[in-house]
Structure 1
């Protein structure tokens, strides 16, 4: 899993699956089960997962970056936090440690993901 963000009613992930493996359903089931058991959500929220899932095969490096940005900005988009670095249930800080993002990314301006709506 290269990136993830867990919100009270949905989550986003970016995976690299083994070649020839396309068993998305089993992975989503296991991830939702694990997240439901292991994570405590902010007060006043419900853990009501949305049904189903949406899959997308990454086409190129630009597509990968746009998905990474969308995932990490999602808590800000939904009003759960003011900055990606403040959302505890995200891979954002690990990506900062890898040098993929600056710690203040997403605080100076809205990332160029306005045309993306994958909820």
Structure 2
């Protein structure tokens, strides 16, 4: 059995990947984007965190968030976000007998990827990865065409030009999901 170890850093900045349990052909996250946004807003009110970057794709999401000074419990925040989202979307997915017995929805993969950001270069690399993801997955021809991303906010703030990574033939050296 794998030995998963999380790094708990009060006030830390983290990169996360969360995926749906059934990924292929599943567009649940973008189909219910307003439910996801409301879930995040609700959790941020009671358990604050700063969003540096976020992208929601049909079957997974990536984000870069910063916890308040002295706080390290990102797991609680994610548990609440996923719970609220799962509660508020229609229960039309197939569920095994085990999931039914446990009264679980089975929407999300049990595990998720977490990475503690170490320095400015690491931060920038992960922020770029977040924003390039819709292009990488072939969902758009230009990063600016994907509506479910903080890229648009970052363009307004002058962090990226509108045409950043707009050439689908460009060689982007970012690691895979």
**TM-score (normalizing by structure 2):** 0.54
Structure 2: gaps (5+ residues): 1-50, 90-106
Do the aligned residues in 2 keep the contact of 1:69 with 1:111 (CA within 8 Å)? no
- The equivalent residue for 2:80 is 30
- The equivalent residue for 1:2 is 52
Offset, 1:58 = 1.0
- Separation of aligned partners in 2, 1:54 and 1:66: 16
**Alignment pair present for 1:15 and 2:65:** yes
- Separation of aligned partners in 1, 2:140 and 2:128: 15
- The equivalent residue for 1:68 is 127
Change (3 A) 1:33 1:88: farther
Structure with bigger strand share is 2
After the TM superposition, which residues 72-83 of structure 1 pair with which residues of structure 2 at under 5 Å, given as runs?
Answer: 72-83=131-142
- Separation of aligned partners in 2, 1:86 and 1:55: 27
Per-residue CA deviations over 1:8-67 (Å, capped at 9, x if unaligned) read 1110110110123221222223334566659xxxxxxxxx54332211111111111100
Structure 1: gaps (5+ residues): 39-47
SS in 1 for 2:78: helix
- Separation of aligned partners in 2, 1:82 and 1:49: 28
The RMSD of aligned alpha carbons is: 2.0
- The equivalent residue for 2:4 is none
Q: How many residues align?
A: 107
Give the number of the structure whose alpha-carbon radius of gyration is greater: 2
**Structure 1 stretch displaced more, 29-38 or 83-92:** 29-38
- The equivalent residue for 2:112 is 53
